[in-house]
A = this chain, B = another copy of it.
Amino acid sequence: MKRPTGSDVARLAKASKSTVSRVFNGGVVSFEARSRILEAAEQLNYRPHPIARSLTTNKSNLIGIAVTYLDNQFYPEVIQKLSDRFAALGYRIVLFLTHGEKTLDPMLNEILSYSLDGIVFASSSLSADVAVGCRNANIPTVMFNSVDPLGRVKGLAASNKAGAEMIAEFLIAGEHRFFAVISGMDDSSTSVERCKAFSDKIVSAGFTPPQIECGYYSFDGAAKATRKLLSGSKEIDAIFCANDHMALAALQTARQEFGREIGKDLSIVGFDNVQIAGWPAFGLTTYAQPIDNMINRIITYLVDSIEGRPGNDTPEFVEGELIVRESARRPDGVKRSTRGDHVWSPASRP
Given that A93-B94, A94-B62, A94-B95 are known contacts, is A115 also in contact with B71, CB under 8 Å in the complex?
no
Q: Residue among A51, A69, A71 with the most chain B CB within 10 A? A: A51
CB contacts (< 8 Å) of A115 on chain B: these are 49-51
Tell whether A14 is near chain B: CB-to-CB under 8 Å: no
Task: Give 1 or 0 for each of A240-256: 1 = CB within 8 Å of chain B CB.
Answer: 00000000100111011
Interface 9-mer from A31-39, A165-173, A274-282, A307-315: A274-282
Interface 9-mer from A78-86, A204-212, A265-273: A78-86
A145 to chain B, nearest CB (A): 17
Q: Give the distance in Å from the alpha carbon of A92 to the alpha carbon of B69 in the complex.
A: 16
Interface 9-mer from A52-60, A190-198, A229-237, A340-348: A52-60
Copies in the complex: 2
Tell whether A77 is near chain B: CB-to-CB under 8 Å: yes
Tell whether A89 is near chain B: CB-to-CB under 8 Å: no
Cβ A70 vs Cβ B60 within 8 A: no
Query: Of all chain B residues, which has the CB nearest A93?
Result: B95
Can you show 25 pairs from A to B with CB atoms below 8 A apart?
A: A3-B138, A48-B113, A50-B114, A51-B54, A55-B55, A70-B79, A71-B73, A71-B76, A71-B80, A71-B275, A73-B73, A76-B76, A79-B97, A83-B97, A87-B110, A92-B95, A93-B94, A93-B95, A95-B95, A251-B281, A252-B280, A252-B281, A257-B280, A276-B276, A281-B282
CB contacts (< 8 Å) of A62 on chain B: these are 94
User: Could you say which of B47, B94, B256 contacts A113, with CB atoms under 8 Å apart?
Assistant: B47
CB contacts (< 8 Å) of A97 on chain B: these are 79-80, 83-84, 87
User: Could you say which of B47, B49, B94, B282 contacts A94, with CB atoms under 8 Å apart?
Assistant: B94
Tell whether A18 is near chain B: CB-to-CB under 8 Å: no
Tell whether A104 is near chain B: CB-to-CB under 8 Å: no
A38 to chain B, nearest CB (A): 14
Cβ B92 vs Cβ A114 within 8 A: yes
Tell whether A293 is near chain B: CB-to-CB under 8 Å: no
CB contacts (< 8 Å) of A29 on chain B: these are none
Q: Give the distance in Å from the alpha carbon of A112 to the alpha carbon of B253 in the complex.
A: 47
A50 to chain B, nearest CB (A): 6
Cβ A80 vs Cβ B87 within 8 A: no
A65 to chain B, nearest CB (A): 8
Cβ A252 vs Cβ B275 within 8 A: no
User: Could you say which of B52, B77, B138 contacts A70, with CB atoms under 8 Å apart?
Assistant: B77
